[in-house]
Amino acid sequence: MKENPIFERLSLLTGKDGLEKLQQTNVLVFGVGGVGSWCAEALVRSALGKICIVDFDKVNESNINRQIQATKKTLGCSKVEVFKERLMEINPDCEIKIRDEPFCRENFQSFNIENYDYVIDAIDSLTHKLDLIETVYGAGVTLYSSMGMALKMHPEQIKTASVWDTKECSLARLVRQGLRKRGFSGDFTVVYSSEPPMAAKGSPRAGEKRANGSLVTVTASAGLLLASLVLRDTLSRL
């Protein structure tokens, strides 16, 4: 594996063997919003060899406060397309694939999940999240899943735990309920916040559903912690 000067500081921590291990690692990231975008970029900045990013949304103004690829310049663009351009500028040696579509039961086989070393779940939709969890677990691939980061202010309260052991996270509670209904009894690691959710301020516009408030210091911290789980687990396998 060729040496890349951009990873000189990284290799001082990982050593040559560790760096080569990272360059051989393949990660599939579902959802590149406020959490997933920071996770994906951290992995690419950490010598990851291959990554596939999956999201079907376009960039809008409400994304700019927390999503790494969202700027005034990228408004209206495919999130994964503009994100790939950014990631290629960071590390051209990384093989980057994009899927501009949602994950669902109808298309799950096309993702070939069994070919990846890790899967990151940063999906918001509960149904799609449950479908993904079942699929990844069934494929025997290591899964790290993000729980709810909306209505939170304190990144220092973000933690990792078994999906069955979280506290103060309504999304994790819904995930557990959904998994039990499906007869799922497996285990996997989640990133969640133990901070009680804040009450939303202000009122939604007439005819609009209230959106949950989100803060970049929280969502980005969750994304970076997800990336850290991948990096540390990869290096532990030397």
The one-digit pLDDT tens for each residue of the chain (238 residues) are 557 899 999 999 999 999 999 999 999 999 999 999 999 999 999 999 999 999 999 999 999 999 999 999 999 999 999 999 999 999 999 999 999 999 988 899 999 999 999 999 999 999 999 999 999 999 999 999 999 999 999 999 999 999 999 999 999 999 999 999 999 999 999 999 999 998 777 655 555 566 789 999 999 999 999 999 999 999 999 9
Domain assignment present for residue 161? The answer is no
Tell me the C-alpha distance between 53 and 22, whole Å: 17
Instruction: Provide the pLDDT for residue 236.
Output: 97
Q: What's the pTM?
A: 0.94
- Give pLDDT, residue 205: 57
Task: Kindly report the CATH number assigned to the domain that includes residue 13.
Answer: 3.40.50.720
* 132 occurs within a structural domain: yes
Whether residue 217 is contained in a domain is answered as yes
Q: Is residue 32 part of a domain?
A: yes
φ, ψ for residue 11, nearest 5 deg? -65, -20
Domain annotation covers residue 52: yes
Beta strands in the chain (DSSP E): 26-30, 50-54, 95-99, 118-121, 142-146, 158-162, 189-193
Tell whether 175 is covered by a domain.
no
Instruction: Tell me the C-alpha distance between 140 and 142, whole Å.
Output: 7
Question: For the chain, how many structural domains are there in total?
Answer: 1
Contacts of 156 (CB under 8 A, 6+ apart): none
**Residues spanned by the domain of 141:** 5-145+213-236
Q: Is 207 a domain residue?
A: no
